[in-house]
Amino acid sequence: MRGLIALLAAASLLVPVPALAAEPPRTGFEKTGNWTTEAEEQAYLRATGLPVTRIGTTAQGRPIQLVRVGPRSARTVVVFICSQHGDEPAGREACLIRMRSLPRASGTTYLFVPNANPDGRAADTRGNSAGIDVNRDHLLLRTAEARAMAAVFRDWKPDVIHDLHEFGPSAPYYVKDVLWLWPRNLNVADGVHDLSETLSRSYVRPSVEAAGRTSGVYGIHVDPVTGEPVRQVAGDGQERILRNTGGLKHGMGLLVETNVDNTPRFRVESHLKALDGTQSFVRSERQAVEAATAASRAVRSGPLYFGGADNQAPAPEDVLTTPPCGYVLTGAQYRDFADELALHGVTSRYLRGGDRIVPLKQQARALLPLLLDARADEPLLHARPVAQC
């Protein structure tokens, strides 16, 4: 009997014991309820095992990073820009949490800029270390932060750009938990504009409201008693804001804002529910998104606008009914702004005498008058429009 027991015991040692599943990495916020620190963020990114690329460096030497989830060559690309304003941290926490659970083998490449304003986050300030609002710099590209994002948009050509923010204080008008908005700029191609609005209204809204959150359109003060709109307050037509710039660069754009009057955990979870909506949109509308993006890149004719929005008619003088063939830059202008033009994906040709011509018939068409024409609100430079190229 003893021999049999010993034999059975020895045999049991040969049976493999299932290994305990490794605990997924957790952010500082998940561990402590406090916002994830800079050191905790870097340790967390290393622990995820996801590809991390340094796409820029802030004025104070902090890395601006891009995290990729999914294959490098997927047909659909989605970019999440997290906490451009350093004192709006809930979006960054939601991005860090979400990146670890996305499928790493799928038909979508998910890209995260998990900390789009590292110096501002460290100081808990809206702007970067120079006090510049990064979300008002997507045309002029004065900041390292905006330049890094412009390079991502140029190189990856995203189909969807989801921009995470917070708003407050909310009283007495902004009384919702979550606000959302699509690109309103009139130079955004119709298909991109319409699908962006669909993303906001038909995917993000039901996703957050199914979780018990209230939501509404960003930029409109609503009377808390009657529920009626009181006035428009956001810079809806400003092309320099990311949701508009993203649309001008052919991506479905979306701004999502959570209410700082709620608890940090509620705000982070609200952003996660909004991210669910965007993921659902990409799965359901993939073919329409790809078609709209392709059609937007192919536009080579039609009017262009210096003002107005999808909810505000432009002034007659703000409509380029017959746009120029292109814009001529002097050699000095080109040397001064070649980097910015390259980051925007603008192409040009050399002219005899040292000047350069930027033809309007290119993928950056919707941006060019806003960058180069003296009639624009805040052009990069004043180039000379020409009727013939």
Pairing of strands 229-232, 220-222: antiparallel
The string over 224-247, giving b where at least 16 C-beta atoms fall within 10 Å of a residue's C-beta and e elsewhere, is eeeeeeeeeebebbbbbbbbbbbb
Which residues neighbour 366 within 8 Å (Cβ) at sequence distance 6 or greater?
Answer: 187, 188, 189, 248, 299, 304
Token pair, residue 114, equals 């998990």
* Contact (CB, 8 A) for 378 and 354: no
Alpha-carbon 381 to chain mean position: 25
Cα of first residue to Cα of last residue in the chain, in angstroms, is: 99
Which amino acid is located at 348 in the chain?
A: S
The Cα-based distances of 134 to 126, 284, 339 in angstroms read 9, 32, 18
* Contact (CB, 8 A) for 278 and 255: no
* Contact (CB, 8 A) for 82 and 27: no
Biggest alpha carbon–alpha carbon distance for the chain: 103
Which amino acid is located at 221 in the chain?
A: H
Could you give the CA distance from residue 15 to residue 4 in angstroms, rounded to a whole number?
17
DSSP β-bridge partners for residue 357 = 328, 349
Which amino acid is located at 288 in the chain?
A: A
Could you give the CA distance from residue 341 to residue 346 in angstroms, rounded to a whole number?
5
Residue corresponding to tokens 């073919």: 287
Of the candidates 145, 257, 285, 340, the residue annotated as catalytic is 257
Token pair, residue 131, equals 């006090």
Q: Which of 14, 116, 106 is nearest to 65 (CA)?
A: 116
Q: Is position 93 annotated as part of the catalytic site? A: no
Could you give the CA distance from residue 368 to residue 244 in angstroms, rounded to a whole number?
14
Residue corresponding to tokens 């789009």: 116
* Contact (CB, 8 A) for 260 and 268: no
Just list the catalytic residues. 257
